[in-house]
Amino acid sequence: MNEYGLTKNEISKKLNSLLSTDETFDSGKIIGSMCTKPDSYSQSIYSKFLEKNIGDPGLFKGTLLLEKQIIHQLGDFLFYPKCSGFVVSGGTEANIIAMWSARNYCKKNSPEVIVPMHSHHSFDKAADILGIKLIKIPCIDGIVDSNLIQKRINRNTIMLVGVAGTTPLGLIDPIKELSDIARKNSLLLHIDASFGGFIIPFLKGSKFHLPLSDFKFPGVSSVSLDSHKMGVSPIPSSCILFRKKNLINNIKINVGYLSGGSEPRPTLLGTSPGASIITLWTILNFNGKTGYRKIVNQCMENTIYLYEELSKIHNVSVIQKPTLNIIGFKINSNHRLIINMLRQYGWSISVFPTHIRLVIMPHIRRKHIDMFLKDLQIILKNTL
């Protein structure tokens, strides 16, 4: 740190130079990430409310009220408006809270949670932190094999997890079957809809219509959905919803000293941005269902276009027809080399052990897809 501060001009120059190596969503070349660029309206709202700290909710009762409204609105389109929940920092925090509340609610000595093999590593983190054993169930064609679950349930099992929008391929686990198993065995069922939660409800009635994965199924006890993914809200932003209030009561912590006079919300973070809540409230109400339908359907149109074009390319194998706006594909020969070349051409793809993942977020336009296809074909030609 300098003894005397730099001028704004000097800072600006330094920042421009130091951040010049960052990728931008505007380039259209971040084609493997589940994040996107928030629009200028949400940026302006966010920057107006930087002082709000929802870690001390008694000071910011208005922000707290907006959070309640958000949870009610999301619960409404997930078929349980009476749900309780919180706006949190991301899918990781939401999933950890779901595991935390399940552990404290069930009060078993050696708790176990059954998750699909493809589940996000936030469950591994949660298991490690909370002392829960994770039982990982193999998948068939990318979704959990629900027939194997019953065999792994024992007296220590507290919860099942299903995913709506899997990390590797954007697929949806058989939520109805999971709900039936959870009910039959009196278990909790958490749905990680971090990716799909802001997509699936808005595809209803369109040609991309998908089965629901929410509180419509009576066995579902909690749902996480990320507003900083397809909810297009600025980072950090995600939501965790619970069917029963007593799931939350078990993770409440009393501290007594907060200057607002209220107890903290039972989330993982202490001091945390109220601006995330205010901006999410704004975006939900500004876009409305129609706005989200438009965003989501546009992403799906682009995904299907890219899928069809990729399928025509020699030496490329697309894993399967996309369910959501995620495509997995591999190169039949020189897979590793092609990945490196795509990176050299500036494409930020996501690489899994079995395939390359493309995520067609709202910032990816048709022209970016055409650029990607063109570069891929040039690379394939040059590496033959």
Ligand X SMILES: Cc1ncc(COP(=O)(O)O)c(C=O)c1O
Please identify, among the stretches 21-29, 109-117, 160-168, 240-248, the one whose residues bind ligand X according to the rule CB under 6 A.
Answer: 160-168
Please identify, among the stretches 3-11, 161-169, 212-220, 357-365, the one whose residues bind ligand X according to the rule CB under 6 A.
Answer: 161-169
By DSSP bridging, strand 350-351 and strand 222-225 are: unpaired
Candidates 50, 70, 39; CA nearest to 273 is 50
Do 70 and 88 meet the contact criterion of CB atoms below 8 Å apart? no
CB nearer ligand X, residue 98 or residue 338:
98
Tell me which of 42, 84, 179, 194 binds ligand X, using CB under 6 A.
Answer: 194
- Touching ligand X, residues 13-52 (CB under 6 A): 34
Binding-site string for ligand X from residue 236 to residue 275, where x marks contact by CB under 6 A and - marks none: --x-------------------------------------
Residue 195 interacts with ligand X (CB under 6 A): yes or no: yes
Query: CA 263 to CA 278: how far, in whole Å?
Result: 20
Please identify, among the stretches 20-28, 84-92, 146-154, 339-347, the one whose residues bind ligand X according to the rule CB under 6 A.
Answer: 84-92
Residue 92 interacts with ligand X (CB under 6 A): yes or no: yes
Q: How far is the CB of 67 from ligand X (least distance, A)?
A: 18
Helices 61-77 & 274-311, crossing angle to 10 degrees?
Answer: 30
Q: Which amino acid is at 347?
A: W
Residue 192 interacts with ligand X (CB under 6 A): yes or no: yes
Tell me which of 226, 274, 283, 302 binds ligand X, using CB under 6 A.
Answer: 226
Q: How far is the CB of 223 from ligand X (least distance, A)?
A: 12
* Residue with the two structure tokens 């094999």: 145
Residue 132 interacts with ligand X (CB under 6 A): yes or no: no
* Residue with the two structure tokens 């679950």: 149
Angle value at C-alpha 278, between 37 and 83, nearest 5 degrees: 105
Q: How far is the CB of 364 from ligand X (least distance, A)?
A: 17
Do 264 and 258 meet the contact criterion of CB atoms below 8 Å apart? yes
Q: How far is the CB of 92 from ligand X (least distance, A)?
A: 3
Q: How far is the CB of 91 from ligand X (least distance, A)?
A: 3
Q: How far is the CB of 61 from ligand X (least distance, A)?
A: 27
For the sheet with 316-318, list strands across it. Answer: 316-318, 326-331, 356-359, 350-351
Q: Which residues pair with 164 in a beta bridge?
A: 172
Residue 122 interacts with ligand X (CB under 6 A): yes or no: yes
CB nearer ligand X, residue 54 or residue 98:
98
Tell me which of 38, 91, 219, 362 binds ligand X, using CB under 6 A.
Answer: 91
CB nearer ligand X, residue 165 or residue 328:
165
CB nearer ligand X, residue 123 or residue 208:
123
Q: How far is the CB of 79 from ligand X (least distance, A)?
A: 20
How far lies 164's CA from each of 112, 150, 185, in Å? 21, 20, 22
Residue 173 interacts with ligand X (CB under 6 A): yes or no: no
| Residue-by-residue DSSP string for 38-71 | PPHHHHHHHHHTTT-BTTSGGG-HHHHHHHHHHH
| H-type alpha helices, the chain | 8-18, 40-48, 61-77, 91-106, 122-130, 149-152, 175-184, 246-249, 274-311, 335-344, 366-382
Residue 67 interacts with ligand X (CB under 6 A): yes or no: no
* Residue with the two structure tokens 């309206």: 41
Do 240 and 287 meet the contact criterion of CB atoms below 8 Å apart? no
Q: How far is the CB of 120 from ligand X (least distance, A)?
A: 4
Cβ atoms < 10 Å from Cβ of 266: 16
CB nearer ligand X, residue 72 or residue 125:
125
Do 273 and 86 meet the contact criterion of CB atoms below 8 Å apart? no
Residue 123 interacts with ligand X (CB under 6 A): yes or no: no
- Touching ligand X, residues 322-341 (CB under 6 A): none
Q: What does the binding site for ligand X look like in residue numbers (CB under 6 A)? A: 34, 90-92, 95, 120, 122, 163, 165, 167, 192, 194-195, 226, 238
